[in-house]
Amino acid sequence: MSETVRIVEVGPRDGLQNEKTPISVADRIAFIERLIGAGLPIVEVGAFVSPKAVPQMVGSAEVLRGVSHLPGEFHVLVPNEKGYEASQTAGAKVIAVFASASEGFSRANINCTVAESIERFKPVLVRAKADGIKVRGYISCVLGCPFDGEVKPQAVVDVAKTLFDLGCYEISLGDTIGVGTPVKARELMRAVASHVPVQHLAMHFHDTYGQALANLYAGMEEGVRVIDSAAGGLGGCPYAPGATGNVATEDVIYMLEGMGIRTGVDMDKLLAATNEVSRLLGRPPVSRVASALNAKKKRVTS
């Protein structure tokens, strides 16, 4: 496993949109600047969604414009054509669309069936292709749903193949409520990779039951080399009581570096970014590695 692993930092969007405390545009820009400076060149920075539905993402256009001068690849989430148009006005070059592998979550989250959700963003993919815009596809609830319970791998395969055939360059498989375990994660990756080439798959695992790193390792054994993570373990899921945030970027980096996989990430700078956003949120980082390093620094300076 000495190959390169690509990290997609999702803290400024998928992380912050599920935090109760809203962060200002200026502070979100500063957070992204710190992440880029730490060596994370791919960052999801905002979402062009309803301000009523996701007030934490208000100002995403300003955030995107505010980081456009930085060296990096910036992603934004768009749910429909209206969101796409707004993203293009703001200068987005990479967008993401999303669907669920479970009907229950799709209805609760966006008030439509899985098939209807795909129909909504089909025009987005057509326009993005014509405009030369890269599109990433997210699938939520791939290892379990708070409404439907167990999710069959075939349901994930069907959505993944549809997104890939529609033109998504990468399919990010999300364990939205963090219920997966390594064997199930491995089986899922194997099932999806039989229909979508493994080099086009990414893992987006939440850490509710403390299984995210183990699940990521299992997926890496199947050949997946793209990992979504959030600095400090930001995030959660409003429809899953007790669901914690994304797997923490610090924890992922620590694991990968310990495996001999060079990430190019400066842990001290990443920790500084995590500590600052945690201060703004008024709580300590969820990340085990951040907690350990902060305790170590405190002990050294005291």
Amino acid (1-letter code) at residue 136: R
Given a cut of 70, the residues of the chain with pLDDT beneath it are: 1-2, 238-243, 302
**What's residue 301's pLDDT?**
74
Number of domains in the chain: 1
Tell me the catalytic residues. 237
Element (H, E) at 205: strand 201-205
Rounded Cα distance between 10 and 298, Å, is: 28
Two tokens, residue 244: 């914690």
159 in a structural domain:
yes
pLDDT digits (tens, 9 = 90+) for 246-286: 999 999 999 999 999 999 999 999 999 999 999 999 999 99
44 in a structural domain:
yes
Rounded Cα distance between 129 and 143, Å, is: 30
Range of the domain at 122: 6-301
Which of the 8 DSSP states describes residue 109? H
pLDDT digits (tens, 9 = 90+) for 236-246: 776 666 667 89
Burial class for 20, CB neighbours closer than 10 Å (0-12, 13-18, 19+) = exposed
**What's residue 10's pLDDT?**
98
**What's residue 1's pLDDT?**
56
Task: Collect contacts of 77-81 with beta carbons under 8 A, ≥24 apart.
Answer: 77/13, 77/44, 77/46, 77/47, 77/48, 77/49, 77/138, 78/47, 78/48, 78/49, 78/121, 78/124, 79/48, 79/49, 79/110, 79/120, 79/121, 80/120, 80/121, 80/124, 81/123, 81/124, 81/127
1 in a structural domain:
no
Give the CATH number for residue 105. Answer: 3.20.20.70
**What's residue 242's pLDDT?**
65
